[in-house]
Structure 1
Amino acid sequence: MDLCAKEAWQELEQQSELKAKIAQDNWRLYFHLMPETGWMNDPNGLCQFNGVYHFYHQYVPQNPAGKEAPHWGHKTSTNLVDFKEEAIFLSPEHSYDRNGVFSGSAIVKDDQIHFFYTGNVKNEGDHDYTFSGREQNTVHVISDGYSIEKQEVVIPHEAYPAGFTDHIRDPKVFEKEGRYYMILGARTRESEGKILIYQSEDLSQWTYQGIFLGDDYSLGYMWECPDFFQLDGQDILLFSPQGVDPQAYAFNNLYQSGYLLGEVDWKNLKFKPISDFVELDRGFDFYAPQTFLDQKGRRLLWGWMGLGDTSPEYSNPTVTRGWQHAATLPRELSFNGQRLIQQPLPEYQKLRGKPFFWNVELKDSVTAPKLAGEVYELQVELIQQTKNLQLLLRQDTILSYDGHIFTLSHGPSGYGRKKRSIQLSELRQIQLFMDTSSMEVFINNGEYTFTSRLYPQKEQDQIVFSGTGSLAIQLWPFSN
């Protein structure tokens, strides 16, 4: 065996040993997507093709801190619950993406998947890599979802319009009336967020059309991961702004993700907002969401259960165990005439074990029977006016509602995550998906959501209800 082959074999053995070690971690998630090893972040290239759901994602397999050039990891499913780990789909191996295959999207045309991503290049020298030293090329890939037929740069860095920093990235491509459009997140040299728009007839030749959003709208210094779609006749624009100041209960995370309702002037290709910016999730761990339309006609969304960069406030202890981050559950989007509604998919009902139902008259506190374990779905309906409601979960996590303020708070198991709140006109219903080290809360049938990681000690599975009022409770332990 020559030296190169020996080194490759040793690396393969080490990776296999690491996977086996990580698989035994008690904080590995039961029904959420996560990396086999290393680091995961943004969902990318989401699509359904020939009946198969494809979930690609930012992936650094060897570094759980994410400090190396990212690849695109790849997972597939036919039912959105059971996923297969596929080979790495894209790697930073070209001159135009040598420092990272950054985020992008997918669109299906003529029985092929067309992917678009940002190829990241950091040139040597004394640079800040915001105003100088970085190239971000838009790359087009044609594929069947597994192998690459064609890969080429369609918008080189030097072709971007003047007046912008080196941060132009995250192409999202969509089709309308036979034409293709690409939107890109950007930061100007005056540190203002913008969304650029390009147009194409064939997905290969792209022409810059101007600023889709940002001429008359300001929010933060950089906009990442733009996404546009129409839902029930409403134009909706998602993006993830950076540099937004906290406002009472809003914008409390390091970076935000949310949406604007608006109207598109298709002649001039301008998005005109008709609403304020609305956060998609009010918890601690939600960023860089991406949507796609599946073959059932559903608009589905996945988010990254993490945050851009590293939060100065809280951490993930799994880094020392060889892995970090995960994806949210896929959520179905609908529009109720005023706001986006996010709901868990009915496919996840297949995980439900034996159900437990009970009605509770709260006068002080009630401890639920120890039936759920660490992984479950819990639904709580408020039958009549409930005061000072609290749910104590998994050691030291509390969901509370008092005086129209709903709050998620963590103790030490939050590893620095403290409290997030929202003001509600009323609380009617709570649906909670509890995994081994994550939780997703859907309030009032998906009007609001809270997503968070948490790291309790083993076998901390008690559920305690307190307050006054009447509750109808349904609980399903999750099983294979």
Structure 2
Amino acid sequence: MAKLYLLLLAVLCGFRTSAQQKPKMYFTDTSATGIMVAKDPVVVKFKGRYLMYYSKQVFRNSADGMQGWNIGIAESKDLYNWHKVAEISPEAEYEKKGLCAPGALIRDGQVHLFYQTYGNGPKDAICHAQSADGLHFTRDASNPIFSPKGDWTNGRAIDAEVYFYKQQYFLYFATRDPAGQIQKQGVATAKAGSNFGREDWKQASDNSILYPALDWEGQCIEGASVIKRNNKLYMFYAGSYNNVPQQIGVAESKDGISWKRVSDKPFLANGAPGSWNTSESGHPCIFEDEDGQTYLFYQGNNDKGKSWYLSNLKIGWTKKGPYILPNQ
């Protein structure tokens, strides 16, 4: 009986240790005193190194956390171990209250960054900047380059994702309903030769292309990240607001505008009690490496947003869509 008790205790302790164990990638930004925050990751491989752009909070002076955001830049050789190398701080008048939630793509030897202003409520909008070294960026003279119009939206645009598909660029963004309560996805397009300026983007739908409808999605769908597989697009998205918990879902599309969910369940749920991401697994970035392997980057925490960490999981694919590779 004593041996059986010890065996059961060991098993239970083992499960507890496993639940609390940190993942292989576990990155945060501690460069602002007393604040361990890294959110909203996007990753590119540029000139032989991996670069990750992310939101970092430099101060907290409001109850809703709507101010004090910069964009951090980290570097890695293996996609798991990262160190910070630079930071993008507000320069222009339109971003003086903060900038964050970057999206990124590489074209013609330049990193193009699509980021949002923050702290302006319905007036937050998408901006564009570009860089020859991935660290120092020149702002687009036409910034902000996009905000939605129509009676379906309050005019806000955040969480930009730009993806080239069927000879045009798709700009996916999150906006809110006119009352500012429901967060949902919209899309704009630009021609293949676009310079990504304000005049190039045309709203492709006068309605939401993905609206929260499932219980776990709550009142929010945001943070879209897109990849092409199986001759169609897959969108990894964040469902529900932060720490509700936010979890990650997947939708698919053949034309980039009409989307349907792959499943009514989260693709990546928040962690079990005691784990590093108990409060959420959110804001995805699906990254395709040069060898075709894919990694899902995401944010998480276990203290309701007092701190934030970034991690990743390796993703496999079948004709039915993505799946999380085992033993991670």
TM-score range, shorter chain: 0.7 to 0.9
Q: 1:46 aligns with which of 21, 25, 43?
A: 43
Higher relative strand content: 1
Question: Could you tell me how far apart the structure 1 residues matched to 2:153 and 2:24 are?
Answer: 43
Partner of 2:18: none
Q: Does 1:119 align with 2:117?
A: yes
Residue by residue, what CA displacement relative to the aligned partner does 1:94-152 show, whole Å, maximum 9, x if unpaired?
22122221212101111111110111243xxxxxx4xxxx4112100111311113434
Question: Could you tell me how far apart the structure 1 residues matched to 2:92 and 2:186 are?
Answer: 25
Paired letter, 2:114: F
Do 1:183 and 1:198's aligned partners in 2 also have CA atoms closer than 8 Å? yes
Secondary structure at 2:95 match in 1: coil
Q: Does 1:171 align with 2:160?
A: yes
Displacement of 1:305 in angstroms is: 2.1
Do 1:235 and 1:262's aligned partners in 2 also have CA atoms closer than 8 Å? yes
Do 1:238 and 1:257's aligned partners in 2 also have CA atoms closer than 8 Å? no
Residue by residue, what CA displacement relative to the aligned partner does 1:428-477 show, whole Å, maximum 9, x if unpaired?
x7x4xxxxxxxxxx4xxxxxxxxxxxxxxxxxxxxxxxxxxxxxxxxxxx
* 30-39 vs 43-52, which moves further: 30-39
Residue by residue, what CA displacement relative to the aligned partner does 1:144-170 show, whole Å, maximum 9, x if unpaired?
31111343414354x533332354310
Partner of 1:236: 234
Question: Could you tell me how far apart the structure 2 residues matched to 1:280 and 1:228 are?
Answer: 16
Q: Does 1:270 align with 2:258?
A: yes
Partner of 2:324: 342
Partner of 1:110: 108
Alignment of 1:407-422 (within 5 A): none
Partner of 1:136: 124
CA gap of 1:177–1:99, structure 2 versus 1, over 3 A, is same
Partner of 2:209: 213
CA RMSD for the aligned pairs? 3.2
Displacement of 1:243 in angstroms is: 6.1
Question: Could you tell me how far apart the structure 1 residues matched to 2:230 and 2:213 are?
Answer: 25
Q: 2:282 aligns with which of 280, 287, 292?
A: 287
Secondary structure at 2:224 match in 1: strand
CA gap of 1:337–1:255, structure 2 versus 1, over 3 A, is same
Displacement of 1:280 in angstroms is: 1.1
Q: 2:308 aligns with which of 315, 321, 325?
A: 325
Displacement of 1:209 in angstroms is: 0.5
Partner of 1:69: 68
Paired letter, 2:315: L
Displacement of 1:180 in angstroms is: 0.7
Partner of 1:198: 188
CA gap of 1:325–1:274, structure 2 versus 1, over 3 A, is closer
> Kindly, what percent of the aligned residue pairs are identical?
17
Secondary structure at 1:155 match in 2: coil
Total equivalences in the alignment:
285
CA gap of 1:298–1:161, structure 2 versus 1, over 3 A, is farther
Do 1:212 and 1:271's aligned partners in 2 also have CA atoms closer than 8 Å? no
Displacement of 1:42 in angstroms is: 1.9
Q: Structure 1: which 5+ runs fail to align?
A: 1-27, 123-128, 245-252, 317-323, 344-428, 432-441, 443-480
Partner of 1:368: none
Do 2:25 and 2:310's aligned partners in 1 also have CA atoms closer than 8 Å? no
Paired letter, 1:300: Y
Normalised TM-score (structure 2) = 0.75
Paired letter, 2:296: L
Q: Does 1:35 align with 2:29?
A: yes
Question: Could you tell me how far apart the structure 2 residues matched to 1:82 and 1:260 are?
Answer: 27
Do 1:186 and 1:223's aligned partners in 2 also have CA atoms closer than 8 Å? no
CA gap of 1:167–1:280, structure 2 versus 1, over 3 A, is farther
Secondary structure at 1:96 match in 2: helix
Partner of 2:294: 299
Q: Structure 2: which 5+ runs fail to align?
A: 1-21, 272-277
Paired letter, 2:236: L
Q: 2:170 aligns with which of 154, 165, 181?
A: 181
CA gap of 1:156–1:216, structure 2 versus 1, over 3 A, is closer
